[in-house]
Structure 1
Amino acid sequence: MQEFIAASSNSKEILNSAKLLQAVNIHALIYGETGVGKKTLAKFITPDAKVFTCYELQKDISQKVLDINKQTIIIEKIEELTNIDLLLSWIEENEIRIIATTQAKKLNQKLNDFFSITLSIPPLNQREDDLKLLTQKFSNEASKVLRTEKILPSKLMLNTNKNAHSLRKSIYFSYLFETVGEDEILMFLENYMFTNLQGENSYKDFLYLFEVPLLKAAKKKYKSQVQMAKYLGLNRITLRKKLDTHKELL
């Protein structure tokens, strides 16, 4: 079973609440973005519970093929439920306890009223200590799986847009990138462009693939626009235009 990492203060509070839920038989909802650990926390609360998606559970209830009574189950993405009354009736008839996860900030009022408690898990960028531990964990994992020496933390490219999901992927990519040279980078770009070439403005459409990473690297390395312009060999007006053009990606 995966461990719900709780080193940050807000995560510790959530874990304490989860421990209380292990001892009380109430329905609970776990809210959070993709990759914050909702399913892991649900399994921490009730390790032996069967996990259902809304679609498969609703289908099984409708077809009356479930033989579950006086048990706890985990339902993922409860916001995708389309027949709330069917589920609530089945739960009552069979004395089922529900631990559900959701990415939706708002649920149907019947579902809101059904759950006795909601645990909200913040994204990783609000859990600094958790992020550090997860980074170490995924780095150790990548080193072992790929059979290579651990790389320096400063060389890890960390993407937390989808929390642990994107973090793990970016760390694995960091390890793979250590073996990649210019030839491989050019090959990747060529294959990507070959697959996606279309229309009459392809040069302009694909220019960001070169400019965005170069501008991001320059911002990180040189700090000021004066220094960026100097070392990129651009005048400051041209640089500002490029920064403005790509501002959503920078």
Structure 2
Amino acid sequence: MEVAEITVVDATNFLTASAASVEAFKTANLLKGFGVNAVIFGERGTGKLTLARYILPHAPIIDASRFDELLDAIESHSDIIIHRLDNVANLKRLIEAIQKSQTRVVATAGGRYSQDQLDEIFTIRLALPPLSERSEDVSALIDAFVKEARHTLGKSEPFDLNGFNPDLSENAISLRRQVYLHYLFDSINENDLMEIMEHYLEEKLGNNNDYRAFLHLYEVPLIRAGIKRFKSQLQLAERLGLNRNTLRKKISEHSEYQLEIKES
């Protein structure tokens, strides 16, 4: 299958490597030339706001949860981007305000409202599928985030994709975070790791049982790493200097973290 050329859109970085994102970008280009209202649907991190910014590059972006500010912006601007339309407190009042004004609106939404409700104000409905359905975009985004991470973190070594399983739980948001962490983990030392743990624990300590309460932060990654490296309980127990019953007990205590290991 032929992959479309990656397109970087101005400063918004909307990448078009999959058929779905290419079609969305074509629609966005049409919308730039027409003064109609549009709503862009999709999960968090799929590129809705990026595409909205491309359509209306100079419009203010107002989160729908800030309702009074949103109403003021509709009255005082010719174009506006409404972010997270699902969070609006009063959809009926918002519709009335938009219909009364001459303001052009592009909104992002997750899909809380029905088509009938939104048809009153939005002529065009555009949907962005999750990244799990846009594999070509995932590869393009990894490349983009690697370049970004290299610049931000001052790294020059190549990004090791060996064992890298893209985290798409929050689409591009989780993927970017994962790329940065992957780069950091490659160069982290003991002092860095202890500083991270110190920073994490500083605000959380204060109960009488804190030692046991936070022991899993050491034991779970230790057992996980051992499982990946040694593959069996017997080998792992020997390397950790534990008997097998103690190791089984530790695995059982941390069952919520799904520590799986062969008995042999």
Whether TM exceeds 0.5 here: the answer is: yes
1:149 lines up with 2:156 in the alignment: yes
Residue 64 of structure 2 corresponds to 54
| CA apart distance, 1:132 | 1.4
Distance 1:87 1:190, change over 3 A: closer
Please point out which of 232, 235, 240 is paired with 2:236: 232
Larger mean CA deviation between 196-205 and 154-163 belongs to: 154-163
- Is the CA contact 2:42–2:48 (under 8 Å) kept in the aligned structure 1? yes
Residue 87 of structure 1 corresponds to 94
| CA apart distance, 1:56 | 4.8
Give identity over the alignment, percent.
Answer: 29
| CA apart distance, 1:98 | 1.5
Looking at structure 1, the residues matched to 181 and 29 of structure 2 have their Cα atoms a distance apart, in angstroms, of 35
| CA apart distance, 1:41 | 0.8
Distance 1:165 1:116, change over 3 A: same
Residue 161 of structure 1 corresponds to 169
Instruction: Structure 1 unaligned segments of length 5 or more: list them.
Output: none
- Is the CA contact 1:72–1:96 (under 8 Å) kept in the aligned structure 2? yes
Instruction: Structure 2 unaligned segments of length 5 or more: list them.
Output: 1-10, 238-242, 260-264
SS at match of 2:203: helix
User: AA paired with 1:20?
Assistant: L
Looking at structure 1, the residues matched to 251 and 113 of structure 2 have their Cα atoms a distance apart, in angstroms, of 44
- Is the CA contact 2:62–2:69 (under 8 Å) kept in the aligned structure 1? no
TM-score w.r.t. the length of structure 2 is: 0.74
Distance 1:4 1:60, change over 3 A: closer
User: AA paired with 2:170?
Assistant: K
- Is the CA contact 2:74–2:97 (under 8 Å) kept in the aligned structure 1? no
- Is the CA contact 1:29–1:119 (under 8 Å) kept in the aligned structure 2? yes
Residue 16 of structure 2 corresponds to 6
Larger mean CA deviation between 126-135 and 51-60 belongs to: 51-60
TM-score w.r.t. the length of structure 1 is: 0.77
Looking at structure 2, the residues matched to 65 and 3 of structure 1 have their Cα atoms a distance apart, in angstroms, of 27
Looking at structure 2, the residues matched to 239 and 12 of structure 1 have their Cα atoms a distance apart, in angstroms, of 50
- Is the CA contact 1:58–1:83 (under 8 Å) kept in the aligned structure 2? no
Please point out which of 25, 34, 51 is paired with 1:15: 25
Distance 1:46 1:213, change over 3 A: same
Looking at structure 2, the residues matched to 177 and 166 of structure 1 have their Cα atoms a distance apart, in angstroms, of 16
User: AA paired with 1:106?
Assistant: R
Looking at structure 2, the residues matched to 39 and 65 of structure 1 have their Cα atoms a distance apart, in angstroms, of 18
Q: Superposition pairs for residues 107-122 of structure 1, below 5 Å?
A: 107=113, 111-114=117-120, 115-122=122-129
| CA apart distance, 1:100 | 0.4
The number of residues matched between the two structures is: 240
RMSD between superposed Cα atoms in Å: 3.2
1:181 lines up with 2:173 in the alignment: no
Greater RCO structure (CA 8 Å; 6+ sep): 1
Residue 244 of structure 1 corresponds to 255
| CA apart distance, 1:118 | 2.7
SS at match of 1:153: coil
| CA apart distance, 1:60 | 5.9
User: AA paired with 1:246?
Assistant: Y
User: AA paired with 1:67?
Assistant: S
